Structure 1
Amino acid sequence: MRRLFIANRGEIAVRIIRTAKEMGIATVVGVSEADVDSLAAHIADEHALLGPAPAPASYLNQDAVVAAALEHGCDALHPGYGFLSENAAFAAKVAEAGLIWVGPAAEAIGMMGNKAQARDAARRAGVPILKGTDGPLRPEDDALEIAREIGYPLVVKASAGGGGRGIRFVHHEAELLSTIEMARGEAGAVFGDPTVYLERFVEFARHVEVQILGDGKDFIHLGDRDCSMQRRSQKVIEEAPAPDLPDVVRRTIRESSVELARQCGYSGAGTVEFLYDPIRQEAAFIEMNTRIQVEHPITEQITSVDLVREQLLIAYEGAMSLMQEDVAFTGHAIECRINAEDPEKNFFPSPGRIARLAWPEGSGVRVDSGVGEGSVVTPFYDSMLAKLVVHASDRPGGIEATLQALQNTRIEGVKTTIPMHSTLLSRPEFADVAHHSKFIENMPDLLEAP
């Protein structure tokens, strides 16, 4: 039997459903009460009600998700991204229930979910890492001496952190001990794990990452991406391949990412993330995401590889359909995450009904969306409406085509971040690859309404 349960919502649920249908796999999507009339619910073969609108009562309710998959006769479960996708305990629970988990084994998720363990695994695999503590910082360690050896500024990171949370910066020795204690307390309260570690802080770094695939036997990369344009540690614009990287850096991060996957016996799609210091021209490991990424379409556009299809092939058949020599790179792709937020009100969420919707069309334009005209944008979840992806022959052409596509997008009924994307793509710093992950925060007037 081939019947897939999608434990997610919005654009990624729609994305998975469409590829599964192309492969002849029946689909059941889990929905909350707020999403019963969603696009994903309409295009899936069936939908299963998980619970009330709040995510803890529906999309994060592990027992309800597993029970729904079993009740609807599914043999596999795809977690998408976010929600339970990187929860090792949930992956184990899915497997124990006799369902195929579309992703890496729970052990790999657990290892990479712990930042200190992931850093150690990366070091063993030859992945470049920032100077820092070898493993978690223990209470008995001489933190002051360790910090002096690393050098300031540095960052205190929660071992179990993620998504920009659990990070505190230290610029002077006098701040160190109190910051470590605060970080431990915060990590224990938020993540249930108080362990932290220290790492050198790279100011004005770019965020680059490598897409990998593995099936437990063979391991490949599908190139790199740049996700440096961020707001409050959330990615805003992504592009592939990463521009203006020295050949030796690009080769190192790609090859070492594959080696990390090999050492983990990795199975599925994953992303190895790096900080790139353009001054030193050095890249260093941040973390590994053990799931499909939001920005995966730009990799698909430059490689012509359907990553969701590969995930499903690996899960069902135990093997991906391609090897490294089959991967070819063509052109440049840019992705804008379009959110229902009001840029004029400090990006406050803008829920409501979409009164009018018209996406751009044309050669090289792709829109991955979970909404349609008349859809209701609820206040319960992430506010992303769609990912606008443009593929062109080169980066300058991609920027120009993306600006045109944004201009041709019409969304009425809710406020969106489209003006922000247009502003950022028009900046000379973006064209010159002079931006970094703190670019928006360091220019407070950048996104003021015209």
Structure 2
Amino acid sequence: MKKILIANRGEIALRIMRSAKEMGIKTVAVFSEADREALHVRYADEAICIGPAPSSQSYLVGENIIAACKKTGAEAIHPGYGFLSENAAFAKMVKAAGLILIGPTPEAMEIMGNKLSAKAAALKYNIPMVPGTEEAITDVEEAKGRAVEVGFPILIKAAAGGGGKGMRVVNSVADFEEQMQLAVSEATSAFGDGSVFIERYVSSPRHIEIQVLGDTHGNIVHLFERECSIQRRHQKVIEEAPSCVLTAAIREQMGKCAVDVARAVNYVGAGTVEFILDENLDFFFLEMNTRLQVEHPVTEFITGLDLVKEQIKIARGEKLSFKQEDLKINGHAIELRVYAEDPLNNFLPDIGTLQTYRTPKGNGVRVDDGFEEGMEIPIYYDPMIAKLITFGKDREEAIARMVRAIEEYDITGIQTTLGFGKFVMQHEVFTSGKFDTHFVSEYFNADSLKSNAEDEAFIAAISAVVALKNKSTIASQPPVIATQSNQWRKNRIQL
């Protein structure tokens, strides 16, 4: 494998290219007309425009991506995450074109791409499931009856869903019919599939996921867990590894279950098995993501592995170079997704120009980004600017480094989630580890963030006044005459 095309953009495209370069592999960037000056385009060995700015006319057009491979002689495609990364039809198209997809088989994508078929596969290995239905339900009265059997509150979920779309919490029978119709409508609009199913609603859930790797020789290992419970709109904002609540025994059980889920579909490549953890530390299978995750850097920090390199090696047909017993957790890592969003306005996207853009540096700090000062955040794509990751010998040090890194990260021209990240890092519920997926709704509001910002501005203003006053006082003092006493003090300081 001498040349890889990266079918993505921004920070993940750059991150893949850097690992490929270290392996001596040439890279091809694809870009839309909006991304002509993007950093990933400049970094790659070759670059090809694949269409207009909207992703539906560029990054989501599989035929254009395969044509770019043929034109440049790229032998393989790395899809990153998002766009076509979990599209089974595209995976089949790549295979039919005689190219290698750096990812799982189309069959594994199809099974795990639907929550119901994923549950059916996982049940082969008796993986714990949240009580509910094991098939799609379309009849409202039948669904209502099943909901009563499961017990309220219940969760209606889109079978083909993700990102919180097609999902409704129902607290009583009276609300059920309306909420189901809304869930079906939203699922149909978002995924072209209105199938829904029912689960018991876990009231205080934690979102725990297990990273897995599988090769083409039947070897599958897990790389421990990631805690992803700090979310807004059912989407992750802060992730960490390892979780601060799992015992060694639970970690081993969850890891085994994750490997079994992967084995159920003969999984190849990097994937993530997601679980819900309830207040009793009982875990239940949620879904499997058949791609590299946004939050993979925290796993890389605690294991010392490069997951992109592992993906490429697996796609080349190599065996995993390590076994489960070789893997150990080292230290603690935290990731903050730095979005161009306004936390004071319900996290709505805040598109604009990066008037100032300076990243933090120093020991234990990593920034994966795809922007530089003066660039605009395009309106066509996900508003994530960067991923800020910190690593420490333990969770306390990783949190302290994250606070320091956030304070050093200088971005002006747009609103970002940096302030929100600092709020979380300094909140007692987070530092104590006693949080769940409801953290934002229960503890965060615009007033709390404004209060923090105002306090910091007030302290900064006082510091500036004190510094100015001290400077003025020093300037007005007469020069010091080097008496014998002063000379002794000066000599002592020099010693």
Give the alignment's TM-score, normalised by structure 2: 0.88
Partner of 1:230: 231
Contact 1:343 1:417 in 2 (8 A): yes
The sequence identity of aligned pairs, in percent, is 45
Q: Which moved more, 1:35-44 or 1:239-248?
A: 239-248
Partner of 2:355: 355
Partner of 1:408: 408
Output the CA distance in 2 between the equivalents of 1:127 and 1:11. Answer: 35
Deviation string, structure 1 residues 262-283 (Cα, Å, up to 9, x no partner): 12110000001111112x2211
Contact 2:215 2:317 in 1 (8 A): no
Contact 1:11 1:386 in 2 (8 A): yes
Partner of 2:219: 218
Partner of 2:373: 373
SS at match of 1:37: coil
Partner of 1:248: 249
How many residue pairs get matched? 449
Contact 2:354 2:412 in 1 (8 A): yes
SS at match of 1:198: strand
Deviation string, structure 1 residues 238-294 (Cα, Å, up to 9, x no partner): 10001112333222211100011112110000001111112x221111110000000
Are 1:167 and 2:177 matched, yes or no?
Answer: no
The runs of at least 4 consecutive aligned structure 1 residues that moved more than 6 Å come to none
Output the CA distance in 2 between the equivalents of 1:416 and 1:140. Answer: 42
Partner of 2:258: 257
With over 3 angstroms needed to count, the CA separation of the structure-2 counterparts of 1:347 and 1:175, relative to structure 1, is closer
Q: Choose 1 or 2 for highest CA Rg.
A: 2
Partner of 1:115: 115
User: Structure 1: any 5+ residue segments left out of the alignment?
Assistant: none
SS at match of 1:292: coil
SS at match of 1:448: helix
Deviation string, structure 1 residues 151-197 (Cα, Å, up to 9, x no partner): 11111111101111111111111222343333223322321222111
Deviation string, structure 1 residues 4-50 (Cα, Å, up to 9, x no partner): 01010111000000001111111001100111111100110011101
Higher RCO, 1 vs 2 (CA within 8 Å, ≥6 residues apart): 1
User: Structure 2: any 5+ residue segments left out of the alignment?
Assistant: 454-495
Output the CA distance in 1 between the equivalents of 2:367 and 2:445. Answer: 29
SS at match of 2:414: coil
* Amino acid paired to 1:219: I
Partner of 2:490: none
Structure (1 or 2) with the greater helix fraction:
2
SS at match of 1:160: coil
SS at match of 2:440: coil
1:140 is displaced (CA, Å) by 9.0
Residue pairs, 1:171-320, within 5 angstroms: 171-216=171-216, 217-278=218-279, 280-320=280-320
Partner of 2:440: 440
Structure (1 or 2) with the greater strand fraction:
1
1:93 is displaced (CA, Å) by 0.8
With over 3 angstroms needed to count, the CA separation of the structure-2 counterparts of 1:367 and 1:53, relative to structure 1, is same
* Amino acid paired to 2:175: E
1:2 is displaced (CA, Å) by 1.7
Output the CA distance in 2 between the equivalents of 1:148 and 1:416. Answer: 43
Q: How much is the aligned-residue C-alpha RMSD, in angstroms?
A: 1.6
Q: Which moved more, 1:96-105 or 1:240-249?
A: 240-249
Give the alignment's TM-score, normalised by structure 1: 0.96
Output the CA distance in 2 between the equivalents of 1:185 and 1:417. Answer: 31
Q: Which moved more, 1:61-70 or 1:36-45?
A: 61-70
Partner of 2:473: none
With over 3 angstroms needed to count, the CA separation of the structure-2 counterparts of 1:433 and 1:413, relative to structure 1, is same
